[in-house]
Amino acid sequence: MKRLQKLAVFLLALLLVTVPALAAAPTKADKKEAERQELRTKTYQALKLLYEKKPKSKRAIEHAYGYAVFVDTSYTAGFIGGGHGRGRAVNNSNGTEVFMKMAQGKLGLGLGVRQTNTIFVFDTIDAFTSFITKGWTFGGQAAAAATDDVHGDSLEGSFQVAPGMWMYQMTTKGLAAELTATGTRFYVDNDLNKTQIPAVKE
Structure confidence at residue 150 as a pLDDT band (50, 70, 90):
very low
The CA-atom distances, in angstroms, between 122 and each of 49, 80, 165 are: 19, 32, 5
Q: Are 169 and 176 in contact (CB under 8 A)?
A: yes
Q: DSSP readout, 12-29? A: HHHHHHHHHHHHHSPPHH
0.85 exceeded by the pTM?
Answer: no
Q: What is the pLDDT of residue 173?
A: 75
Structure confidence at residue 59 as a pLDDT band (50, 70, 90):
very high
d(CA 136, CA 31): 28
User: What mean pLDDT do residues 179-186 have?
Assistant: 78
User: What mean pLDDT do residues 20-32 have?
Assistant: 67
Q: Are 144 and 179 in contact (CB under 8 A)?
A: no
Structure confidence at residue 21 as a pLDDT band (50, 70, 90):
very low
What are the extents of the domains in the chain?
65-194
3-state SS assignment for residue 95: coil
d(CA 157, CA 53): 9
Amino acid at 81: G
Say which range, 62-71, 89-98, 175-184, has the weakest mean pLDDT: 175-184
Q: Are 89 and 128 in contact (CB under 8 A)?
A: yes
95 phi-psi bin (left φ>0, alpha ψ -120 to 50, beta other): left
Which one of 17-21, 27-31, 61-65, 155-159 scores highest in mean pLDDT?
61-65
DSSP 8-state secondary structure symbol assigned to residue 40: H
Per-residue pLDDT of 73-132, as tens digits, reads: 654 444 444 567 899 999 999 999 999 999 876 544 444 456 789 999 999 999 999 999
Amino acid at 167: M
d(CA 177, CA 114): 16
Say which range, 8-22, 31-45, 51-65, has the weakest mean pLDDT: 8-22
Structure confidence at residue 18 as a pLDDT band (50, 70, 90):
low
Q: For residue 161, count CB atoms less than 10 angstroms from its CB and return exposed for 0-12, middle for 13-18, buried for 19 or more.
A: middle
Q: Are 125 and 164 in contact (CB under 8 A)?
A: no
Q: What is the mean pLDDT of the chain?
A: 77
Q: Are 100 and 186 in contact (CB under 8 A)?
A: yes
